[in-house]
A and B are shown apart, each in its own frame.
Chain A
């Protein structure tokens, strides 16, 4: 069958668009997760929460673009951030949503050392808003476990397709976190295996592992240092959850260890990540 030329042309332009930036794949994934959450998992988002988040995040980004003279394409990052906020952050008050979205994007402009921001924007936005206002929360239970394998397939597919660079960070974190918990749950406490399995079949953990801690823009630039740093995040997340019963501990662990990034960068010199250099590096939230 011959494909009509005008369709072929369109297909070509879709392909070119997708390939021009790894963040485009990212957007596809996050929007699928978001739709699943809304339509199938019945998340109780505030009415217009998504719209409020997008408006605030994009406006803040526009201001940053003006001030810091960033390229207009950096808006894509804030669209991704907005999706992640909708996926991870809950609040019952609309102005809390505004604060979270604003802090997320603004943190990129505020916490900068030598032109590099060291907090993951969404991570900072969520944690700072919860600490400051006590009005928001993270709902790790909201994913259930039904769609887990599809999420995992999606994530792995994403990694393979984009031949993502920063996966060692994700695996260093996940291995540390899972080994520590595996030892505690299976070896020390002797729970049945499905207890352990249940702990790790969680959409929020996947999202964190593959899209948040792999953020090339805000994590340490030196590869080996970054791996050690990711292991530290895993260990801290384990400690917070196992001993202090902190909900969504990986997100908090990353928040507390992010300020180490500039120090690590100072001692372990490496070239700073640049979106323009590569379209195959993993995009992050």
Chain B
């Protein structure tokens, strides 16, 4: 019983240490709005999920000849005409601006007086789109292909077919003969989709309708269906060895954060203090940070960039706000049908917003993305902080002290910058001591050691995200694109598996060795 008492009191002491569990909160400050895209060749998808009801909205910023546009998406059921809608592109821009990584700005208070000036900041938000193309030819000898046209609709500027097929060969021929080209290597998944009883949602542009609409841009398509499968088919858009594609997934759910169940979902680094000049290159900063993180964590992961409880009753729907939080209309349009309007223009109902970023390729992503909704309602954002030095008005004894501290903290900021982005920070040697009028050199592309598409043309084959097919490839000159528009398409990070293996490996080997020695000793 003596032992019993000892252990009981030990546990009691452990419990006491638990008393101080503190809550986290973001400080609030204003952020000005700016909707410049960070990633320019990224496809975007909005997923709304409630019970078995799924609403998927897919956006494309197709810029070629619209008669070359085409898209093939595997869907679990035959969609009715009322399940298919065209929606406003603005929704994606709004969601993107709202959830983009953000830079916040603080001003150090003057060490000579104790008045606190906590001021404001700046942000660069992001967005971008996908690409898809193909010629559509309506004539068919479907029986020969063992392809059934389950339904045929014209919705907005799109002609839509829902196909089901008996075998992949027929479907492949049907698609090729009708002008679609399946990316090389992607056809290996046609048969699995057919066998999984998936239907194919096939889209082309109806030129007359499009002219009648008078719209130049192709609007996003939205499909709604009931299925227990909470997933996003990405396999059809993947070509073998053709590099990576970038996809941003926004999810709107009732209960909480969405994560992938067949890949690791990793939160991006956040709340880091970075040098003042990052403000000038925030887009480039974040792109390089993302790539570095991809190499560090492993390219077979999914990254979480934002998560926020935007339920009707929540007062703070972002903090700081990089863009306006989604409004009633935006949520309705995305397919959130469980909220109800209030008299004051808001809404009642529980909604959680998640933003996931995935850079996928054939090798690292053998399976489609499968999601689950967790009950986690905690907020998360990618937030980077800059601290402006205090202005010096005259001398005071505290000043030199402040200067030293500031120098040290600025050196730390440079280290952080280097750790986050892989930039060589030697070029910023003046930064720690030069508080006023410091102009930072441009961050060069080569330093990160990653391939950037600066060399000229990027080949964009198969559209990102939801499996599309292409007729050949689009060549796009991006050399004139802004510095912060580094495309991800067709770039591969050089080191792509995480060195996690080593720590764990040593641990395992140590234990096994120790244990075997122990065993041998026992037997001996």
Chain A residues packing against B (C-beta within 8 Å) = 12, 14-15, 18-19, 25, 28-29, 32, 35-36, 39-42, 44, 47-48, 51-52, 54-55, 58-59, 62, 65-66, 72, 75, 90-92, 94, 134-137, 139-147, 149-151, 153-154, 157-158, 161-162, 188-192, 194-195, 197-199, 244-245, 247-248
A48 touching B21 by the CB < 8 A rule? yes
Task: With both chains docked as a complex, state the minimum distance between the C-beta of A146 and any C-beta of chain B, in angstroms.
Answer: 5
Which residue in B3, B4, B7, B500 is a CB contact (below 8 Å) of A41? B500
Which residue in A161, A198, A247 is a CB contact (below 8 Å) of B512? A161
A146 touching B498 by the CB < 8 A rule? yes
How far is B188's CA from A20's CA once the two chains are assembled, in angstroms?
54
A147 touching B501 by the CB < 8 A rule? yes
Q: A137-B374, A146-B497, A154-B511 are in contact. Are A32 and B504 (CB under 8 A)?
A: yes
Task: With both chains docked as a complex, state the minimum distance between the C-beta of B62 and any C-beta of chain A, in angstroms.
Answer: 29
Task: With both chains docked as a complex, state the minimum distance between the C-beta of A46 and any C-beta of chain B, in angstroms.
Answer: 8
A52 touching B18 by the CB < 8 A rule? yes
A244 touching B228 by the CB < 8 A rule? yes
Chain A positions within 8 Å of B314 at CB level: none
Q: List 5 A-B contacts (CB under 8 A).
A: A51-B14, A140-B261, A157-B515, A189-B192, A189-B196
Which residue in A12, A48, A137, A144 is a CB contact (below 8 Å) of B372? A137
B505 touching A150 by the CB < 8 A rule? yes
Chain A positions within 8 Å of B229 at CB level: 245
Residue of B nearest to A93 (CB): B375
Which residue in B367, B378, B516 is a CB contact (below 8 Å) of A198? B367
> Other than the known A42-B267, A245-B229, what 16 A-B pairs have Cβ atoms closer than 8 Å?
A14-B518, A18-B518, A40-B504, A48-B18, A59-B15, A62-B7, A92-B376, A139-B259, A140-B262, A149-B501, A150-B508, A151-B504, A154-B507, A161-B512, A192-B188, A245-B230
How does the 8 Å CB contact mask read for B55-93 relative to A, with 1 for contact and 0 for none?
A: 000000000000000000000000000000000000000
B301 within 8 A of A: yes
B25 within 8 A of A: no
How far is B86's CA from A241's CA once the two chains are assembled, in angstroms?
33
Chain B positions within 8 Å of A136 at CB level: 375
How far is B125's CA from A247's CA once the two chains are assembled, in angstroms?
34
B263 within 8 A of A: yes
B366 within 8 A of A: yes
A191 touching B189 by the CB < 8 A rule? yes
How far is B22's CA from A18's CA once the two chains are assembled, in angstroms?
38
Residue of B nearest to A243 (CB): B228
- Total residues of chain B contacting the partner, CB 8 A: 63
How far is B333's CA from A193's CA once the two chains are assembled, in angstroms?
40
Task: With both chains docked as a complex, state the minimum distance between the C-beta of B382 and any C-beta of chain A, in angstroms.
Answer: 15
Most buried by B among A58, A62, A75, A191: A191
Chain B positions within 8 Å of A55 at CB level: 11, 14-15, 18
Chain B positions within 8 Å of A90 at CB level: 374, 376
B264 touching A41 by the CB < 8 A rule? yes
B260 within 8 A of A: yes
B1-60 residues at the A interface, CB under 8 angstroms:
3-4, 7-8, 11, 14-15, 17-18, 21-22
B265 within 8 A of A: yes
How far is B240's CA from A192's CA once the two chains are assembled, in angstroms?
13
Residue of A nearest to B301 (CB): A144
Q: A14-B518, A32-B508, A92-B376 are in contact. Are A195 and B230 (CB under 8 A)?
A: no
B298 touching A28 by the CB < 8 A rule? no
B264 touching A144 by the CB < 8 A rule? yes
B191 within 8 A of A: yes
Task: Give 8 closest A-B pairs by Cβ, nearest first.
Answer: A157-B512, A144-B264, A154-B508, A194-B366, A189-B195, A32-B507, A15-B518, A40-B500
Q: A134-B375, A191-B192 are in contact. Are A44 and B263 (CB under 8 A)?
A: no
B178-195 residues at the A interface, CB under 8 angstroms:
188-189, 191-192, 195
Task: With both chains docked as a complex, state the minimum distance between the C-beta of A89 and any C-beta of chain B, in angstroms.
Answer: 12
Residue of A nearest to B505 (CB): A150
Task: With both chains docked as a complex, state the minimum distance between the C-beta of A45 and any C-beta of chain B, in angstroms.
Answer: 12
Chain B positions within 8 Å of A94 at CB level: 21
How far is B515's CA from A140's CA once the two chains are assembled, in angstroms?
29
Chain B positions within 8 Å of A42 at CB level: 266-267, 297
Residue of A nearest to B191 (CB): A190
B94 within 8 A of A: no
Chain A positions within 8 Å of B521 at CB level: 12, 15
How does the 8 Å CB contact mask read for B196-208 relative to A, with 1 for contact and 0 for none?
A: 1000000000000
A146 touching B298 by the CB < 8 A rule? yes
Q: A147-B504, A190-B195 are in contact. Are A141 and B265 (CB under 8 A)?
A: yes
How far is B230's CA from A54's CA once the two chains are assembled, in angstroms?
35
Chain B positions within 8 Å of A189 at CB level: 191-192, 195-196
B511 touching A28 by the CB < 8 A rule? yes
B377 within 8 A of A: yes
Which residue in A32, A92, A145, A191 is a CB contact (below 8 Å) of B300? A145
Chain A positions within 8 Å of B497 at CB level: 146
How far is B17's CA from A141's CA once the two chains are assembled, in angstroms?
31
Q: A19-B519, A32-B508, A161-B519 are in contact. Are A62 and B376 (CB under 8 A)?
A: no
B17 touching A154 by the CB < 8 A rule? no
Task: With both chains docked as a complex, state the minimum distance between the C-beta of B519 and any C-beta of chain A, in angstroms.
Answer: 6
B503 touching A161 by the CB < 8 A rule? no
Which residue in A25, A146, A194 is a CB contact (below 8 Å) of B511? A25
B7 touching A75 by the CB < 8 A rule? yes
A19 touching B522 by the CB < 8 A rule? yes
Chain A positions within 8 Å of B374 at CB level: 90, 137, 139
Chain B positions within 8 Å of A137 at CB level: 372, 374-376
Chain A positions within 8 Å of B267 at CB level: 42, 44
